[in-house]
Each structure stands twice: as structure tokens, then as C-alpha cells.
């Protein structure tokens, strides 16, 4: 617990920018962590099915965007991969 003096201190910052920055940083770290842990998301083009079926579902074709896997690399993971490549090339 903080001493009682801190509670009576004069307000130097009327806006809680520190909290806002902290929350943003936390969200960014959380997003980066989730992209690292779950690099794939459901393909938006085929809704994760990997293929398109005709209305009667007798014929189908594979989704060209995800090449039939039904998953796509998340935007955050793409950025991560780009940085990883730059780091690899540097060495
Ligand atoms: Zn797809």
C-alpha cells in the first residue's frame, strides 16, 4: 500500500495519459502475444471451409486465398514474419 501522502498530492496531470498509454501498450502486447500463440485465423473468403460449394453442394472448388486450408495468417503474424526475415537476413 502507498503512504497516505500520495493520496493528498496535488494533481499535476489532469488527464490520465499515463493510464491510457499503459492500456494501449497492454493491448498491443496482448495482441502480439496472441498472434504469436495463434498465428492463424479463419479465412474470411471461404469462412474457414477451404472451398466453395455450389448451392446444391454437388460440386466445389478450393478457395484460392487460403489454397483450401481454410485458415489464413493473421495480420500481426505477417508483421512478425517480416521482422523475423529482416533479422535472419541481417545475420
Ligand atoms: Zn479460404
67's grid cell: 489454397
Mention every residue, 6+ apart, whose C-beta is less than 8 A from residue 59.
53
User: Mapping DSSP to helix (H, G, I), strand (E, B) and coil, where does residue 60 land?
Assistant: strand
Distance of CA 40 from the midpoint of ligand 1 (Å): 12
Residue 14 pLDDT: 67
Residue with grid cell 477451404, as numbered in its chain: 50
Distance of CA 62 from the midpoint of ligand 1 (Å): 8
- Range from 1-10, 14-23, 42-51, 55-64 carrying the lowest mean pLDDT: 1-10
Distance of CA 53 from the midpoint of ligand 1 (Å): 12
Task: Give the pLDDT mean for 26-32.
Answer: 95
Ion ligand 1 nearby residues (CB, 5 A): 43, 45-46, 63, 65-66
Provide the whole-model pTM: 0.58
Residue 11 pLDDT: 59
pLDDT greater than 90 at residue 42: yes
Distance of CA 72 from the midpoint of ligand 1 (Å): 7
Q: How far apart are CA 19 and CA 70, in angstroms?
A: 39
pLDDT digits 0-9 by tens, 54-75: 888 899 999 999 999 999 999 9
Amino acid at each position: 500500500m502507498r503512504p497516505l501522502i500520495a493520496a493528498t498530492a496535488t494533481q499535476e496531470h489532469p488527464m490520465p495519459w499515463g493510464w491510457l498509454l499503459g492500456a494501449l501498450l497492454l493491448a498491443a502486447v496482448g495482441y502480439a502475444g496472441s498472434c504469436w500463440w495463434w498465428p492463424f485465423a479463419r479465412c474470411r473468403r471461404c469462412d474457414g471451409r477451404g472451398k466453395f460449394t455450389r448451392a446444391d453442394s454437388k460440386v466445389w472448388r478450393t478457395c484460392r486465398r487460403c489454397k483450401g486450408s481454410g485458415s489464413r495468417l493473421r495480420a500481426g503474424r505477417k508483421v512478425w514474419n517480416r521482422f523475423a526475415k529482416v533479422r535472419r537476413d541481417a545475420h
